[in-house]
Structure 1
């Protein structure tokens, strides 16, 4: 694929300069400039939504058979896979993530388009049970224009999880990528355009969430918002959506517990806990950032875990040996450091990490080391606030009721990890924990076929799974009268 001009944005199927200022993408590994990219204005939102409305209402798209639309999605998936190495390299430069992770995200996006295509081909409508002399059926139709707002920690994969089902449902999509990671979304737009998506069905509008995201949410012709990001922003979107009586899907923050049971395989648990909180440099909504360990084995277990965490390899995402890459941006690294400093002020004890790296190899990058804290109780701010970085707080617990009370003592309910050999205990605890996803003897595994979302302040609605396309449709009922006689109410007139 030819070198892309990121100064242009994709508005209603047209590449052109945006009405917003040019911004810089900074490589967090060394502070160098990756690219200058364009941003949108509110006027661009108006144009994108208008183009999307026309394209969604075009009989050629609205009347396209599911099989034909599925073939288009399959081609998009194949095109993403063929470009996966270039996508990975661009995303690593833009976000700092390791190449292994960014390639996996690209392949995840390709798989999402293929799964949604297969789902579309096999999705049937339903005849409902007759309750009179009528034939009744339930149909699903497109919403029209869908707004998709995606986060910076998993670009392209998050984009695909919203774009693919929304297009499959027959909608147009206006995508607002995160400000820190807009390059890959613009790359995806170029791939989708090249495959042959009808013009106007996709727009990609980088820019500030408070301006561009808000304009998309409040636009009268946007019929649904799918948002992944912070809980505070999610609440604002929900309030704006309520004023419009508009459906929303909100995948928000987390402060997920990861739980070691007394009978756990220690080596398996330690490896899983390390991966669950320190991979992606902790920049994950489902990171297992609160560790609960039985009090009798707490010191021994946490000691082994700390030694392993301190030995994790820190470096640039381009180094194949790197396990902990730089954070997405310098301001975010400093925010994480501020959380740790506040935790220390609350009385937390540092077991490893907890300070900027002194090694000159890391001086130019947004690095922060794997950090483990202990010595506080679950009501401490550092145990309650989402940090979104490589920071783990270790907490002891007594019996199962004490464990469940502490694990559920959080405004969040996104994910949980359990480490035990006893399937009965695993099932019982999985049902008692407030979380949308529970991993048992593993962590941070995903499948596009399995629904994902949270409870409490972690969100509303679900993505993925067999209902993924239905989530971007509106339901309609049809009644076919079978009685040849007129309705009796009007007889005798």
Structure 2
């Protein structure tokens, strides 16, 4: 059954002003939602309403613990609707239902964490160097824009919305055009939790229309973006014209390193999870596996055995490990990269094609794929594929290993498999990535900062100080001198 969705614009639920479009369930291509795309005029209406709403006592006058109470209620609202939200996310982008449940749980935890961070927020009395009291305080930036991707909507949106609300900002959301549902549902929960009208708006639509209008709007004081590097660079260029701060979580081509002393059971399981969970549609996917030559053949054998056991299927099934890709267009992009890998001289060890028969033919499915025989300089080892494609690369010399891992435009994440903590620490410090996992992969905590380096972006999400991204710092000097300033009396 196709559901009609509306946008949330300046505190009103209504159809946006642009053309009608539909979203599809990647499992079978069926239409699941119908809605209107937002326009630049809708963006202007939402931003103006947000600017007015954020100045009202109902929002600006709240103390930290009162804003925290609202965030706690949002967290509770997510938990109360957890299963329904997970099922809706499954329809939005085809993730397996177990993964959808984990993302919903994560979103609730994000709101709870930033509620606690807001409630316990402390500004600073700085050490005085004279006859005065000096303080450093932080104030909300104002109206901020959030642009989120299609691969993990509810978690990505919570990681932007919760700290912005905790800081006292108003937020205009632009979710991915093809996965608008979670942002819409979060707006409903925020409304029920007591977030004043106008403080949150959700405007689905094209990035070239809604995103550009949001970035360019003079009242938008910050953009938080997760998505592709090319789009991120465009946002940064526009933001520079306004001297507007941004946080950009962009692409990745993350290396995972298997050391000679690695526990192969752990390493194989971790590499499989790192690249093939989420069907590889993850910016942190461990898409380059550097395996020491002494155990390369054994690792490859175990890895391929593991790939054969992966359950690719209906995302509604509790047993499914890999669902479909997000749509047919994205699958075509993956197929072009696989062909490129072949053209560059790589050998496909498994996968490299669509599964056939039954529901596979209707959905945007693709088999987990492993390449070998490619140098790290190959395009397939340099460019983000954003799909279930792994390159195996043997290594022998540690200095060359580190050089190859770092020889990439991206620097989002990395993994190391070893029994030697000292080696892990040394190599981890040498890797040019924002996150290093040791004997694990793709684990996250909302209390630990997350960011990238190089072309993977910059700016911090998560962590207690994540609220600072949505504030401006202000200094106070309060004179304590008993006598007038001597300069004026000399």
Q: 1: CA distance between counterparts of 2:57 and 2:3?
A: 33
Alignment length, in residue pairs? 490
Q: Distance in 2 between matches of 1:454 and 1:149?
A: 17
Q: Hey, what's the Cα distance between the residues in 2 that align with 1:237 and 1:35?
A: 29
Matches within 5 A, 1:1-400: 6-400=4-398
Question: How do 1:421-436 residues align onto structure 2 when only pairs under 5 Å count?
Answer: 421-436=419-434
CA distance in 2, matches of 1:4, 1:122: 44
Gaps in structure 1 of 5+ consecutive residues: none
User: What TM-score does the superposition give when structure 1 sets the normalisation length?
Assistant: 0.98
Q: Structure 1 residue 265: deviation in Å?
A: 0.4
1:180 to partner: Cα distance: 1.4
The structure 2 residue matched to 1:406, chosen from 404, 407, 412, is 404
Q: Distance in 2 between matches of 1:391 and 1:230?
A: 18
User: Secondary structure of the residue that 2:134 maps to in structure 1?
Assistant: strand
Q: Is the Cα contact below 8 Å between 2:275 and 2:390 reproduced in 1?
A: yes
CA contact (8 A) 1:265 1:421 kept: yes
C-alpha displacement of 1:4: 11
Residues 52-98 of structure 1 show CA distances to partners (whole Å, capped at 9, x for unaligned) of: 00011112311211111100100000000111101111110111101
Q: Distance in 1 between the 2:149 and 2:108 partners?
A: 18
SS at match of 2:294: helix
Q: What is the alpha-carbon distance in structure 2 between the residues aligned to residue 30 and residue 417 of structure 1? A: 35
SS of 2:236 mapped into structure 1: helix
Q: Which moved more, 1:358-367 or 1:154-163?
A: 358-367
Query: Deviation at 1:5?
Result: 6.1
Determine the C-alpha separation between the residues in 2 that align with 1:457 and 1:105: 26
SS in structure 2 at match of 1:296: coil
Aligned Cα root-mean-square deviation (Å): 1.2
Deviations 1:429-453 (A, max 9, x none): 1101111000000000000000001
Distance 2:2 2:198 in 1: 20
1:123-179 CA distance string (max 9 Å, x none): 101001111111100010010000000111111111110011101101100000011
Residue 187 of structure 1 aligns to a residue whose secondary structure is helix
Greater than 2 Å deviation, 4+ residue runs: 3-7, 358-361
Structure 2 unmatched runs, 5+: none
Secondary structure of the 1:78 match is: helix
Alpha carbons 2:58, 2:196 under 8 Å: kept: no
SS of residue matched to 2:171: strand
